[in-house]
Structure 1
């Protein structure tokens, strides 16, 4: 029986999910914008090489900005290696459905090859993951609240979504503040058999592991929080500039404030695991909102396709290049010690004499 543990099955599922995301991007974005593909193609044909070069430069800026987050979370990680790590992990995450786990595995493998200790790598992965989710949650909440304040028909959903996000933030903060009382309550209410025998030793080990991870993450945050916050802010700001630049080069005709609000509100949709990196879903929702804000349908759809190309397809291409570079370089390093051990001074007698 064919199972998901087979490597070729996982590859096929990954390719199918990536193809579904691209198909959703190509088919759903024009439909969400209320236009035809012929009009979108004509709008894309008006974008010149100079504008494409500027968009590529902005994409490079936000990729480089995220290296500050990675290097701040993992001591000893250089900017160049952080860029290789970012591109390779992002490529894997943008190809596989719910590719965050695969991206984490690639990150762990690469950093361990570079000699970083496991505890430091684990703390870096946890800290960067929390920073990404919290930053997108805060930015998305602000964007949704701004959209809810605009006088547009059908924005009641935005107010409801903003209220739900704020409630989630407050609930998370409350649970964090009450973590110690809740832990004691669970300890007292749980059956005694859970804390006897093998289950007790497992619970103790898990508790020690959780305490150690929390201590490591807290140390990373205290040591590097200015660079973590600055790196995440720079990354999201560069992505926002790329979003606005795509709208500008296509002549979408949306205002700066509403377009920025749409970008901010759509950041949380990138965490959806239906398609790799939320491709197709995020752009369709943003296209619908931008047209509702008065943007030209064909220009809006073409700008969303451009933005997806520079945030997803370009990352996949760069990730393939950086991944190949990493494998070739590490392969050479692995062969050097073996070659050194096989060489022998001709003047010395053989070892068996």
Structure 2
């Protein structure tokens, strides 16, 4: 019990420290790196009209709807509406805390179990969608650099560095994924390794090698039938988010070329993998604003556009997802208690048998 309490306290302190770091980066480091005061940034943001904000919200929701193509493809039988629910509620929880992906995944698992999906089907869904998400994020900088190079603007060191890092990581991830999905050899090695680790930790023996092989075959079968929809859904979602960034910069009064906007989006894709703070907040805003300013965008409008964009892709997911998750969770709990009460009543109504 003391050890468990200590873990809880440590995690709470880590979460608080991450939030403090994110706030400090936004409040102090962002205006310093952008070269614009908060007064200047605030004046730009105050010029956003209500109808422009509503348009941005519609584009944001449209992007989430497009992503359901991939999410529904990875879990046969999942409707697009429920895929939207999983996406927004999981992101809502994940964005609240650093390394919150595990918490978001747990919320998604609970939802899927309530809808009748097996844990094995959910694990396949989570693995496949995360693989495609990471690969999409890592491949975006390559396309951005190629676009800038075609226009004669590809000298930027920030994007070049991000591209080299992401390209190397993407190649490694693709190679690992293909290697694991093509044959049972890699799966057997992973299962055997887990068995050895479990034995060292004195855990009960299990045939994890066989389980890993079965998971590999299930994943390969799913990918074989769903890879087109997975790719289309993820690509359309990325384009919708890049379009949202472009609109955010437009409404605050700056008009970088589409290639520069896509390059800034590529910087965001890479930096968002650094989940030291919730949603990589602080690191992403500074990186995107710095890049846009280096490419000639006015610092105040660059910072304002980036903050507006991040407000939708990170900030809005928390309250909207929470508003959907809370009443649904309450209904599920009430329904569960009602079923338990009905079962108890049914059992009590069964006449007892005489004991001989």
Shorter-chain TM-score: what band? 0.7 to 0.9
- Mean Cα deviation higher: 148-157 or 306-315: 148-157
- Mean Cα deviation higher: 160-169 or 72-81: 160-169
Residue by residue over 1:229-249, the C-alpha shift from the partner in whole angstroms, topping out at 9 and shown as x without a partner, is 111112111111110010000
Residue by residue over 1:289-341, the C-alpha shift from the partner in whole angstroms, topping out at 9 and shown as x without a partner, is 11111111111111111111111110000121122022112123213323434
* Alignment of 1:106 onto 2:92: no
Partner of 1:93: 94
* Alignment of 1:142 onto 2:143: yes
* Residue 100 to residue 140, structure 1, CA distance change in 2 (3 Å): farther
The 2-side partners of 1:271 and 1:213 are apart by 26
Partner of 1:220: 222
Contact 1:32 1:285 in 2 (8 A): no
For structure 1, which runs of at least 5 residues remain unmatched after alignment? none
The 1-side partners of 2:88 and 2:176 are apart by 35
Residue by residue over 1:101-137, the C-alpha shift from the partner in whole angstroms, topping out at 9 and shown as x without a partner, is 2222222222122221111111001001101000111
Partner of 1:260: 262
Shift, 1:16, TM fit: 4.1
* Alignment of 1:74 onto 2:75: yes
Contact 1:148 1:155 in 2 (8 A): no
Residue by residue over 1:138-165, the C-alpha shift from the partner in whole angstroms, topping out at 9 and shown as x without a partner, is 1123224545777679733543443343
Contact 2:245 2:265 in 1 (8 A): yes
* Alignment of 1:118 onto 2:142: no
- Mean Cα deviation higher: 1-10 or 313-322: 1-10
Task: Give the paired residue count.
Answer: 340
The 1-side partners of 2:128 and 2:248 are apart by 31
User: SS in structure 2 opposite 1:271?
Assistant: coil
Partner of 2:288: 286
Partner of 2:302: 300
Contact 2:159 2:263 in 1 (8 A): no
* Residue 53 to residue 269, structure 1, CA distance change in 2 (3 Å): same
* Residue 60 to residue 157, structure 1, CA distance change in 2 (3 Å): closer
* Residue 279 to residue 237, structure 1, CA distance change in 2 (3 Å): same
Residue by residue over 1:3-44, the C-alpha shift from the partner in whole angstroms, topping out at 9 and shown as x without a partner, is 675546534543442343244233333222211111001111
**What pairs up with 1:175-190 in 2 under 5 angstroms?**
none
* Residue 95 to residue 251, structure 1, CA distance change in 2 (3 Å): same
* Residue 20 to residue 323, structure 1, CA distance change in 2 (3 Å): farther
Partner of 2:271: 269
* Residue 350 to residue 89, structure 1, CA distance change in 2 (3 Å): closer
The 2-side partners of 1:260 and 1:305 are apart by 16
- When the two structures are superposed, what TM-score results if normalisation uses the length of structure 1? 0.84
The 2-side partners of 1:107 and 1:33 are apart by 38
User: SS in structure 2 opposite 1:211?
Assistant: helix
The 1-side partners of 2:48 and 2:276 are apart by 31
**What pairs up with 1:27-42 in 2 under 5 angstroms?**
27-42=28-43
- When the two structures are superposed, what TM-score results if normalisation uses the length of structure 2? 0.83
* Residue 203 to residue 260, structure 1, CA distance change in 2 (3 Å): farther
User: SS in structure 2 opposite 1:325?
Assistant: helix
Partner of 2:46: 45
The 1-side partners of 2:310 and 2:290 are apart by 15
Contact 1:127 1:217 in 2 (8 A): yes
Contact 2:166 2:270 in 1 (8 A): no
For structure 2, which runs of at least 5 residues remain unmatched after alignment? none
